[in-house]
Structure 1
Amino acid sequence: MALYRIVLFYVLTSLLLINPVFASGPEPPVPTLVESIRLDAKLSFCGEPVPLADGEVRERMEKELLLSLWDRDQAILWLKRSRRYLPSIEKILSEAGLPDDLKYIALAESALRPHVGSPKGAVGFWQFLPATGRRYGLTVDDQVDERRNLSASTRAAARYFTELHEKFGSWSLAATAFNMGEEGLQAEILAQQVDDFYRLYLPLESQRYLFRILSAKLILTQPEKFGFYLRDEDYYPPLRFTTVQLTTFEETSLTVVAKAAKTDFKRIKDLNPELRGHYLAAGTHTLALPADTPPGFLARFENVHQQWRQQRNERIYVVQTGDNLSTIAEKFNVPLAALLIWNRIDMNKPLYPGDRLVILPAEEKTAEP
């Protein structure tokens, strides 16, 4: 089915290129399928040659490249996001003395999306499981998940890659261990008495994994060869931000941070994807703020935070006998979901008379500094 769709795409593309009824102007040529999979025999991963002279290896490479080219919208997004995220990844890998090709693993894992997750619980740019992320120094809890932070997660990945390469002695095996786990790969090496990735029989996903990475490398390093003609303005611009160290002695709404930065909640969340929910935990945080944040953020934060605390204290409702969340929300004419956000309520835990809830009516907002 996948190959059928690829053929259909190229047929339609050919019609656009040669038939004026379909085409609105001259377009660069899109290579044929056969041209697209004529691979350079010198293809390598982290300096290790890919044995394309082996017919079985070439077939696996061609299949994965065809599947990547079929998903052309994804490949375009790879390219467009590359200038936003890859320079930071390249810098961290270089500082760690690691091969630049490892950056393509992030493309294969997450397509450079901070919030993407897997059914097994892997999250973030490098798709760390919670235990693995913590093992390499990442904070993963209910309030902060650094698997979503580009710099922190890439430094953790760099430490992991270093260990994997020391253990397995090749980057192809290190990448495969990153995908399937070092114990699983080590078990297969011992059972099969083979330590060459291209000769190992592995779970199907792991057999494909390195070829997906190589497909990403080929597309990003030679986009025109595969029919992707992007102009400079087509790429998403690099992230522009400044950082500030902020200490809070109580859990604080991120809306307070946004107001102090003269921006909105969404911008703060986008620049700090590791922050979960609507609140900043008590403690010291290094936060990314928009690059155009006016001077004086910390002073504005203290001002807005004081007003926010006062407003919360003035809007405390004491739960009465017979109350539930729905009746309280109806009484104050606020959405039930807002009650949950304001009070960090777990829907599975009952309310009791005497519990104290913050109620912020819709017509009242935190004052501007």
Structure 2
Amino acid sequence: MKFVLTAFILTFYLLFSSVAQNDIDDTTFVNPELDFQDFSRNLDSMLLLWYVQGSVNPAGKENSFDTANDTVIMPFFSQDMYIEQLARMNTYIEMTYNEIVQKYIEFYSIKRRKQVEVMLGLSEYYFPVFEQALDKYGLPLELKYLPIIESALNPHAISRAGASGLWQFMYTTGKLYKLNINSFIDERQDPMKSSDAAAHYLRDLYDIYHDWHLVIAAYNCGPGNINKAIKRTGKTTYWGIYNRLPRETRGYVPAYIAASYTMSNYKDLKLIPRKIELPAATDTILINHELHLMQVAEVLQIPIEKLRELNPQYKKDIIPANYNTLSLMLPAEYITQFIILKDSIFNYKDSVFFSSIRPSQYDIQNNNSKVSSGEVRLSYTIKSGDNIGKIANRFNVTIADIKSWNNIKKNRLIAGKKLIIYVAEDSAGKYKKHLKTKNKIESQVITNKHEDETTTKDDYIYYTVKSGDNFYTIAKMYPGITGDDIMKLNGITNAKSLQIGQKLKIRKKE
């Protein structure tokens, strides 16, 4: 057991040494003023990124983040008052006071007041997410202030070194902590998943150092640089190895203490949180089909910017839920509407939004099989037990046709996916009779109407699945309703497919 633990720590050390900053040597020149200027430039670049992206513009005017004239007079605090206020924060992590820390406190509370007020507004949305992740791993909740200095609470932030997201994960570290990063998704920018990964990483660092200042420093520059500084100085505290740390890291812990102080004492500093256009209440929908955020935005009339802010992990505005289930976060007031209109949303302008990445599927001219002008395009939803030969026989077409129309190379089909099929116009009607539900086959003209146009949402109850639920126990809550009724209404064929948090539509009984 001891050997396994030692091997793990050694592997961990080697992995993170490889992503640390450049080595420092004994001739490193230490100048707190230069360290501070470097930190200031980095923060300003993060704030400028905010403004350029248009994600946050508190004044609604140009140059709202102009730092040239961003200096106001704040209440005067003596050294003794700073020490008292830091102690009054009653944190598990020591909030050290010295002249270096005071310089960073004054930077946040005097020179960057507008930006801090914006971050105070954003904190109302993000801090509960951070606290939940930190609590899960048993960590001090004041670590929620780390993203203040990492990203200025900008989930889209990308550093000069390539670190991304609120917690500024490098690619290698993100992968090590199971964050999905590919052409469509970057979970380093997912607030919930990146927060969980960051808390996990911080716990692993604490298991090595058992000193929170060293942990915070190692989060910035990697354990390799911390270990070298400890070896060169013979000391095991942050302030003891301060002169042997990389420049950015020398400013990192003072900036963390200053950010924690400023955010905690904003009322005494006469800072006013800005109102941020992020919904107070949100909920998550589980998606198991490819979906474009613009489809959701246009059908539900939600500004696309708001959807991007709530779902920053989707780099191309596409949720690539082809082979696994992914999440879509929406303002809570739109959840019911999404459930009612989900079929229309998935089919809305699909050829427009996906033709650039699926040209062979949406461009008839690129298909090997010719389609005559007298044929109608239909959409068939694959059911459990279907095979490509069975579907071809049903629609009186060839297997080669189906493969060509849908750009399929193998015979393997996935239940729930849609197939494009062309049939003669005069026989299209009869094929609809083979389907068990109204929405299994649709014409190419997509409408925004729900499958049951005569039923209003007031005729339904929407139930959120909880731990231990099954269709039988849920049905018992609603007299006159059976588990089969619920499954049919929600298009569910597998009784074991329920997931915690899933929304179910249940028809009211008179």
TM-score w.r.t. the length of structure 1 is 0.70
Structure 2 counterpart of 1:64, one-letter code: Y
Aligned mates of 1:189, 1:157 — CA distance in 2: 24
- Match of residue 220 from structure 1: 263
Query: Counterpart of 1:47 in structure 2: which amino acid?
Result: Y
Equivalent runs, 1:152-301 vs 2, <5 Å = 152-200=193-241, 201=243, 202-230=245-273, 234=275, 239-248=280-289, 251-259=290-298, 261-281=300-320, 282=322, 283-293=324-334, 295=336, 297-298=338-339, 300-301=341-342
Determine the structure 1 residue equivalent to 2:188: 147
1:112 pairs with 2:153: yes
Percent of counterpart pairs with the same letter?
A: 24
1:60 Cα shift? 1.0
Which residue identity is paired with 1:216?
A
Partner residue of 2:75? 31
| 1:36–1:286 CA distance, 2 compared to 1 (3 A) | farther
Deviations 1:77-123 (A, max 9, x none): 22121212112211221232110110110111111110011011111
What's the secondary structure of 1:293's corresponding residue?
helix
Unaligned segments of structure 2, at least 5 residues: 1-32, 41-66, 356-360, 368-406, 408-444, 450-510
Change (3 A) 1:301 1:119: same
Q: Which residue of 1 aligns with 2:144?
A: 103
Task: Give aligned pairs, total.
Answer: 297
Comparing 132-141 with 291-300, greater Cα deviation is found at 291-300
Query: 2:448 is aligned with what amino acid?
Result: E
Query: For the Cα contact (< 8 Å) 2:202–2:215, is it kept in 1?
Result: yes
Q: Residue 238 and residue 93 in structure 1: after superposition, are their counterparts in 2 closer, same or farther (change >3 A)?
A: farther
Residue 176 of structure 1, CA deviation:
0.4
The letter of the residue matching 1:220 is M
8 Å Cα contact 2:220-2:249 kept in structure 1: yes
Deviation at 1:309, TM superposition (A): 4.5
- 1:228-269 alpha-carbon deviations (Å, 9 max, x no partner): 245xx8576664212111111xx4433223345453433322
Q: Secondary structure at the match of 1:126?
A: coil
Q: Which runs of 5+ in 1 are unaligned?
A: 15-29, 53-57, 320-355, 357-364
Q: Are 2:344 and 2:448, in contact at CA under 8 Å, matched by a contact in 1?
A: no
Deviations 1:293-348 (A, max 9, x none): 153635633334345356766755559xxxxxxxxxxxxxxxxxxxxxxxxxxxxx
Aligned AA for 2:182? D
Distance 2:292 2:99 in 1: 54
Q: How far apart are 1:209 and its partner, in Å?
A: 0.5
> Which residue does the alignment assign to 1:47?
92
8 A contact 1:124–1:148 mirrored in 2: yes
3-state DSSP of counterpart to 1:242: strand
Where in structure 2 are the equivalents of 1:329-344 lying within 5 Å?
none
State the partner residue of 2:448.
368
- Structure 1 SS opposite 2:114: helix
Amino acid at match of 1:290: P
Per-residue deviation, residues 130-165 of structure 1 (Å, max 9, x unmatched): 111111121111111111111111100110010000
2:101 to 61, 68, 72: 61
1:122 aligns with 2:163: yes
- Alpha-carbon distance in 2 for matches of 1:314, 1:95: 45
CA distance in structure 2 between the partners assigned to 1:172 and 1:64 by the alignment = 16
Change (3 A) 1:255 1:237: closer
Distance 1:368 1:179, change over 3 A: same
Q: TM-score, normalised by structure 2?
A: 0.52
- Letter of the structure 1 residue corresponding to residue 107 of structure 2: L
Judged with a 3 Å threshold, the aligned counterparts in structure 2 of structure 1 residues 294 and 153 are, in CA distance, closer, same or farther, namely closer
